Amino acid sequence: MLGPVILAASRSDALRRTISAAPLTKPVVRRFIAGESVEATAPAIETMASQGLEVTLDVLGEDVTDPAEATRSRDAYLRLIEVLGPLQLGERAEMSVKLSCMGQALDGGHDIALKNVTAIVEAANAIGTTVTLDAEDHTTVDSTLAIHSALRERFPRTGAVVQSYLFRTEEDCRRLAAAGSRVRLVKGAYKEPASVAYQDKAEVDKAYVRCLRVLMEGDGYPMVGSHDPRLIAIGQELAQRAGRKLADYEFQMLYGIRTAEQHRLAAEGHRMRVYVAYGTDWYGYFMRRLAERPANLAFFLRSLAGR
Ligand code: FAD
């Protein structure tokens, strides 16, 4: 019940200002956010790489309100690519980009976002890596998938993300799997209306399994984005049944969540990619992590109270 309330709060500017400024917030935030700058985050990336983990990097920020802000977000990714280049990690360190950060919600936003993200994908390609387009709220899905499709004409390794809570996603999976692309499947982290999305957790999980089956049986590269032990086991089983080798799919989890399980899967020979978010604009990302697990909220409130 708490989840939807926290998700609504994640859109409040007043709360954003209050919570972002509270000094005691920081230790809790640090569990999920790897650093405030690329320089502060680079050591964590190298450590994870040396432990056999792969990463996808997210420069935090979303819902930009003017083109200059979108340009700044694009430049933050270009700076990240400059730092990644010498590390020579190739696709072991890719990037996740939110198109709302690239200006998608502005007037003429589809084209602005396409132009900005194209610059990032070109630079990523030049250092031997790639980009995955994060999924945001349902009103953006058509534009995001159209941009994904346009990018794949020149950069076929560009990844898409689909959310099992949306009714449309099984069909999207069918199309994406047939096209051979890299597809991350997640449950979905936004507050969506009953007209477009399953509201019941069990329905979302069942839809996840249906979508995963389509992806595993298809021609693409499935990326299983979940911490759910049941879905991870089902993912392994479906991959095996579809005749996939360990290199033909991967698991993905968020930085700071089920870290021991991340290491366990990597040690078993699975490709395990950690989604590492960094930057100063962490509020929306952090609130979605709280909404996913009420126990995180209790921990957060205790920290605010100084206990
Ligand atoms: P759940 O049933 O929520 O969790 C299963 C178990 O995992 C829980 O019992 C708990 O032990 C642990 N767990 C899960 N979440 C937390 C948490 N926040 N804190 C502590 N423990 C937790 N969503 C989008 O809408 N768009 C995206 O682009 C997107 N990208 C993602 C990328 C990756 C790599 C991952 C892993 C998730 C992404 N998500 C994205 C979030 C996703 O939609 C879910 O909200 C999130 O993964 C929680 O669902 P779950 O599958 O882990 O299952």
Q: How far apart are CA 290 and CA 295, in angstroms?
A: 8
The Cα–Cα gap between 101 and 61 comes to: 6
- The residue written with tokens 């920081």 in the block is 26
Q: Determine what percent of the chain is predicted with pLDDT higher than 70.
A: 95
Average pLDDT over all residues of the chain: 92
Q: How far is Cα 289 from Cα 307, in angstroms, rounded to an integer? A: 21
What would the DSSP string read from start to end of 151-188? HHHH-TT-EEEEETTBTTHHHHHHHHHHTT-EEEEE--
Q: Which two tokens stand for residue 19?
A: 């919570």
Burial of 260: CB neighbours in 10 Å, binned 0-12, 13-18, 19+: exposed
Residue 301 pLDDT greater than 90, yes or no: no
- Structural element, H or E, at residue 76: helix 67-87
Residue 24, pLDDT above cutoff 60: no
Domains parsed from the chain with CATH numbers: 34-158+226-237+250-281 (3.20.20.220)
State the DSSP code for 250: E
Cβ neighbors of 301 (< 8 A, separation 6 or more) are none
User: Which listed residue (134, 172, 205, 281) is catalytic?
Assistant: 134
What is the Cα–Cα distance from 124 to 105, expressed in whole angstroms? 24
Residue 267 pLDDT class (50, 70, 90 cuts): very high
How far, in Å, CA of 183 to CA of 156, rounded? 12
Report the pLDDT value the prediction gives residue 289, as an integer from 0 to 100.
87
Give the end-to-end CA distance of the chain in Å, rounded to a whole number. Answer: 25
pTM of the model: 0.93
- What residues are paired with 94 via a beta bridge? 56
Residue 93 Cα, ligand 1 centroid: separation in angstroms?
A: 20
* DSSP summary character for residue 64: -
Specify the residue for token string 């099992």. Answer: 164
Among positive and negative, which fits the CA dihedral 10, 159, 77, 38?
positive
Options 92, 152, 157, 184, the catalytic residue: 184
Ligand 1 pocket residues where CB is under 6 Å? 134-135, 161, 163, 186-190, 225-228, 252-254, 257-258, 275, 289, 292-293, 296
pLDDT at 256 over 70: yes
